[in-house]
Structure formats: C-alpha cells, structure tokens
Amino acid sequence: MNTWARALAGWMLAALCLPVWSTPVEDGYDLWLRYRALPAAQQAAVAARARRIVAVAPASPTLQAAVAELQRGVAGLTGRQPDVAAQPGDGALVLATPATAPAGLALPRPALAELGREGYLLRSLRWQGRAVTLIAANSDVGLLYGSFAWLRAAQTGADLARLDQRSAPRLALRLLNHWDNLDRTVERGYAGASIWDWWKLPDLRDARYVDYARANASLGINGTVLNNVNAKADSLTAPFLAKAAALADVLRPYGIRVYLSARFSAPVELGGLKTADPLDPAVRAWWQAKAGEIYRAIPDFGGFLVKANSEGQPGPQDYGRNHADGANMLAAALAPHGGVVMWRAFVYAPDASDRAAQGFAEFQPLDGRFAPNVIVQVKNGAIDFQPREPFHPLFGAMPHTPLALEVQITKEYLGFSTHLVHLGPLFEEVLRADTRRQPQGATVARQIKAMAGVANIGTDRNWCGSHFDCANWYAFGRLAWDTDLAAAAVAREWVQQTFTRAPAAVQAITALMLDSREAVVDYMTPLGLHHLMGTGHHHGPAPWVDNLERADWNPVYFHRAGRDGIGFDRSPRGSNAVSQYAPELAALWANPATTPEPLLLWFHHLPWSHRMASGRTLWAELVAHYDRGVERVATMRRGWDAVRTDVDAQRHAEVAAYLAVQEAEARWWRDACLAYFQSVSGLPLPAGSRAPAETLEAYKARRFNFAPGRGG
C-alpha cells in the first residue's frame, strides 16, 4: 500500500473509533441525576407514567423546582418533556398537599399525617377515572423529595405503575459540613478549590450552586455549613454574611438551610472586646447582636457549628469555663431565632494518657447541661475518621443531650480522591452499632438527632475528585434520610443511576464498591490498627513517625509496636478506655478472646505470637491482612475491567487509571508498614509472603511537598 493509502487506512480506523459527537459527555458532572435516554422499550414505560404533571399545591419556588426536575428527568429519560396541565390524564404525575388537594383526589390523609414536614408518599392510584401517580406530602419540600424519589424509581427500573412508597426522615438535621476556607482552599479537600466563589459573591452566583442544591435535595440533605470548622472570624462579618445570604437564596427552594462555623473568639477579633468569656455580659450581648444581624440577612439561618478548645481553636476553656457554658451562651443568642448550635466533641488534651478517652471524659459529665437547641456533634469514632474505629463511646452515654453523628465523606485518611473506597458500609456499620446502653435495639442511629458529613466537594468537574467518590456523598445522604437503609441497596441505586442498569454489571460494580472499605482497612490499618499515616498531609504510610510536637499525634503512640508486640491497650490493664462503653461491651472488649478481631489492636497490646482464630499468629495474620488488602484491589480492578462494555469509555478509562494508582499505593502501604513492623519486631515475613519492594529507609525518605488538602 502506498503512503497515503496507508495513512488513509489509519484515519478510517480512527474515525470509526471516534465518539459519536452527539453522545452526552460523561464527565461526572451530572452525578446520579444523569437522566440519560433509556432503551426504547423502557422509555415507553416511563413516558406512560409521566405524560403530564399536575401540581395541586400552592405555588412556591420549591414546587417550581420539583416540577422542573420532573420535566428535566423525564425529558432526559424518554426524549419527551411532560407538560404541566390542569387536569389529570392517564399517566399523569400528580403533586398534591392536603391543603390544596381538590375534591375527588383521595389523599391518604392518615398516612400523610405521619410523614411530618419533609416526608412524602408515592402511590399509583386512579383519579377522575385516570391512572395517575400521586406524589403527596405535607409541604412543598416533601413534594420536592417525593419528586426526586419518583425519578430515582424511574432511573433504577422500578415498576412505575405499581408504586407504593412512603418515606420520612427520622433525623431532623441532615447536613454537609464544608471545611472550606475563605481563600477557597479546602482543608482535607481533594477535588479542587472551594465551590463557593467567595470573591464573586454575593452579586455573581455560579450556576453550579443550583446543581449543588439539586444533588443535595435528591438525597434529602437539608443543611450545609459553608465554612471550615477551623473558622476565621471573618465568616461572621457583614461582607461574608451577605455572601452566605446569597447562597441561602439559591439553596432555599431546595429545602437547604445554611449554617456557618463560628470562631469562639469573634467578640475579641471583630468586636474589640477584651474577652470571649461566655459568662461575660458584654460577650453575651455581642453574640446576641451578631445573631440579630445574621437573621436580618438570613431569616432561616440554621445556626452555628463550633470547634472549640480543640487543636488550637479558641473556646470557653480559655476562660476557665466548660463546653456547656460556651455552647449555651451561643444557644441563647440563637434560640429566639430558631437556630441551633452544633458543638463538636472532637477534643483531646495534650497531657492525657489516651487520646481516645478524651472526648468522653470532657463531655459525658456535661450530659443534660446543654440547652435544648444545642447538639453535641460527635465523630463516628474516638480518634479521627480512621478506616475502622469502634463507635464513639459518647453514643448512648448522653441520653439527655441531643447528639449528632459526624462522619467524613472526604477521604482524608483513606486515599484522598484517588482510592476507590465506598463508605456506605462504614456509615452503616456505625449507625447499626449497638451501644447496649438501653434495651435491645439501642443503636447509634437511635441515639442521634442529626447527621453531618464532612464534604468531599470542590470545583472539580466531577464534584468530588473521582467518580466513585460521589457515591460517598450519595450514601451519606441516603443513610442520613433513612438510617435503616442497607449500604448494599444504596450502592446499587447509585450504580444504576450513575453508570448502568445492566444487571450483571450492577452486581459486579456494587460488589467491588462494597468490598473496597474492607480493602482499605486491610492494606492500611488492619486488625484495629489506626493512625499510621504520613505527617500533616496524611498521605501514605508512616508508622515510624515519633517526633511530632504532641505524643498523641505520632503513629507510634497508636500502634505501640515493639519487640514485644503491637497494639494499644485500652483494657483495664491499660488506659481502660473500654470502661467508657456500656458494661456489656466493656466486658467483651476488655478481653482479647472476646474482642472482635477487626478491633483487636484498638483495645489490646498483644505479643506477635498471639494466636488468632485462624490459627495463625498475630504477626502472620497482620501480614495476611495487608496482603489481602492489596489482592482485594487487584480484584476490584479485574471487576471493573469486566464491565468495560457496560459503561461509557471515558469514565471507564478514568476509573481504571485511578484503580491502577490505588493498587500501586496499596502495595506501598503494605510494603512500608511491614518493613517497619519487621524492623521493630525483628520477625521475618511468613513463608510465601513477598518482601517489601524497597528499604525502610527509602520509605521513610519519601516527601510529598504539595499534597492537597492543607488549606487555611
């Protein structure tokens, strides 16, 4: 073949491979609200149930948002946008609230009565002789949530002709916490800059804010804290309140209220006062005036989130007061306006013996002393968002205090936005944890009034830094709405809406997601180990670090590995932190023999020769877990590769590239940790286990000078 014919052959081949120009770009921006055209047969089925929209409810921006979403969704799925109509027809979607439902529309009023302000029901029924789908609620926000639920049903292949769903949230507050700084950096953010373009606000509003609102409304997230818990007092100044007010205006129709992190020393920094003592009348007056100013700007402002006397943040203890004094002072300022104070229990004193015991020690004695509009916000575990932690002992131990569960959606310790780690299982694990504080069934989920997730959202086009990281936002929202949902079901929903409905592929993708949490536990911190990561940025393994300013920041503090063994003794023979749990649990966890192996080294310091249930020694078991973690990632990669033809090429390739990095980093974690543990134990690797690829010194020498997430 001559040159140009050969060239031509190349082009024709390339042309065949070129994406059809009219296929929507799958860049992740549409999240789980993609509304991609269904196959023709399914299009007809959905279109038949959404021929028109009849809204018999008072006009409001929220109802407008619900109708718009239904139109957008149906148009995308079926190619035809349903009109808004006055009269029902066959296949109409009817949105109704009791107040305005017309005669002849048999609203199931008893059912509705139980749904509260935010709940909804979906029901297939007949009205005026037509087969319609009723989306009913007591408020327009409920109709919005119901509309999203209907769209979820449509996207996941439910039988839209036979709907009968009822759902209402048990937790009143379901919040995102953005650790976004006012300079647009995001602490522990791995998805670009803050999505809040502070400089351009309030006059210039990014169109993205609306899509943020839609995504959160689709999950039932009803509040967002805009700024970092390591707060700058500036967030409470007039210019920033105006910016927050602008955001509140955009989010309000979607049922989302805004909150702000408040710096406790603001009276000094902004008000020029000499003190921020919560008992000082001038300070109290300052906060009352500030609250008035805030509520004039944002009438439905949610309230404050406060990190005080923790990691250098100012607080009431600076003045010899306690957490209740501080929280109650702010609560008094907000109570007349209906606001809440979410006061974080993430504290640990520098001179204490066990960091894990500090939160309970400082807060439990204050049970019952907080004002009713204070919520004490407690991390899922007593250390800090590790791959696995036992539930925080405060859950169940403060029956007279409203509590919030704080989980981390962003993966500070779990591979940033590079590693695929689905957190639904982690959220489910803590929600279903039995505190044994009350009669059977006293799970963590039943101890809380609110749930907060540290957001993983930024300016990246795909919102969260990777496609699968968005599933963690999704899982958080769905589980906050209904703490009884199963993580597996939630993951499956997400896959069907985000990637594909092909059953085998859904099964395969869901499986790799559900296995990923245990994978990261295994390749980072198995058997109850915790806090082994690199200094500052928290990237990569650094179990050797022992030289930080505070002992309880050092990895060695947490694993205590030496020639004799490994693990942190929290039994009565050690720090006795187990005693902070219900007596039944304390007794179980005080004894290695009755401690679940996933928590073994959280509660016990054991010799390397300790015999495990498998028959292996602790050391061999540890190595086996690290090896299994790496193998799990390899399995995830094979699982993803197998669904290549079921998902779009762009995202398949992107995820595959991320998984390749994850596998390499999992190996690195495994190799560096085992090299280190070998160095302190003096033990050889079990036969058949591969030696670390590099020397311990090489691992120690690695530097990551520009790791993301160190904002503010």
Residue with Cβ nearer a copy of itself (3 or 440):
3
Residue 391 within binding range of a copy of itself, rule CB under 8 A? no
Three-state secondary-structure class, residue 349: coil
Residue 203 annotated in active site: no
Stretch that binds a copy of itself, among 12-20, 120-128, 273-281, 484-492 (CB under 8 A): 12-20
Binding mask 205-224 toward a copy of itself (x if CB under 8 A, else -) reads x-xx----------------
CA separation (Å) from 307 to 128, 348, 549, 575?
56, 12, 21, 26
Residue 654 appears among annotated catalytic residues: no
Residues 6 or more apart in contact with residue 600 via CB below 8 angstroms: 527, 528, 567, 592, 606, 618
For residue 254, the tally of other CB atoms under 10 A from its CB is 26
Q: Nearest 5°: CA angle at 386, between 467 and 513?
A: 35
* Cα–Cα distance measured from residue 453 to residue 712, given in angstroms and rounded to the nearest whole number: 20
Considering only 151-159, 351-359, 458-466, 492-500, which stretch makes contact with a copy of itself by CB under 8 A? 458-466
Could you say which residues in the range 156-195 bind a copy of itself, by CB under 8 A? 182-185, 190, 192-193
79-98 positions binding a copy of itself, by CB under 8 A: 81, 83-86
User: How far is residue 570's CA from residue 606's CA, in Å, rounded to a whole number?
Assistant: 12
Q: What's the CA angle centered on 450, arms 589 and 415, to 5 degrees?
A: 65
Among 41, 204, 593, 701, binds a copy of itself (CB under 8 A): 204
634 touches a copy of itself by CB under 8 A: no
- In the complex with a copy of itself, which residue's Cβ is closer, 35 or 474? 35
- Residue number with CB closer to a copy of itself (178 or 610): 178
Question: Residue 20 in contact with residue 455, Cβ under 8 Å?
Answer: no
Closest CA to 415 of 348, 458, 464: 464
Q: What is the CA radius of gyration of the chain?
A: 27
Asked if residues 404 and 378 have their Cβ atoms less than 8 Å apart, the reply is yes
CB 191 within 8 A of CB 504: no
Give the SS3 label for residue 467: coil
User: With respect to a copy of itself, which residue has the nearer C-beta, 40 or 204?
Assistant: 204
The residue within the footprint of a copy of itself, chosen from 177, 265, 418, 525 (CB under 8 A), is: 418
Residue placing its CB nearer to a copy of itself in the complex, 59 or 693: 59
**Of 100 and 591, CB closest to a copy of itself:** 100
Exactly one of 23, 102, 503, 641 binds a copy of itself (CB under 8 A); that residue is 102
How many residues in the chain?
Answer: 712
CA–CA separation, 327 and 384 (whole Å)? 22
* 384 included as an active-site residue: yes
Among 117, 126, 200, 274, binds a copy of itself (CB under 8 A): 200
Dihedrals phi, psi of 180, to nearest 5 degrees: -85, 135
Q: Among 109, 199, 350, 536, which residue sits at the site for a copy of itself (rule: CB under 8 A)?
A: 199
The residue among 237 and 507 lying less far from a copy of itself, judged by its C-beta, is 237
The tokens for 177 are 């916490």
Which of 42, 43, 64, 364 is the binder for a copy of itself (CB under 8 A)? Answer: 64
Based on the shown chain and the rule CB under 8 A, indicate whether residue 640 belongs to the binding site for a copy of itself.
no
Contact map string, positions 667 to 686, toward a copy of itself, x by CB under 8 A: --------------------
Residue from 354, 412, 552, 663 carrying the catalytic annotation: 412
CA 553/CA 549 separation, integer angstroms? 8
Binders of a copy of itself among 649-668, rule CB under 8 A?
650, 654, 657-658, 660-661
Beta strands in 117-270 (DSSP E): 120-127, 130-137, 164-167, 173-177, 223-225, 257-261
Comparing CB distances to a copy of itself, the nearer of 206 and 631 is 206
Q: What is the DSSP letter of 300?
A: T
Positions touching a copy of itself (CB under 8 A) are 3-8, 10-12, 14-15, 18, 20-22, 27, 53-59, 63-64, 67-68, 71-72, 75-76, 81, 83-86, 100, 102, 182-185, 190, 192-193, 197-200, 203-205, 207-208, 234, 416, 418, 459-461, 650, 654, 657-658, 660-661, 705-708
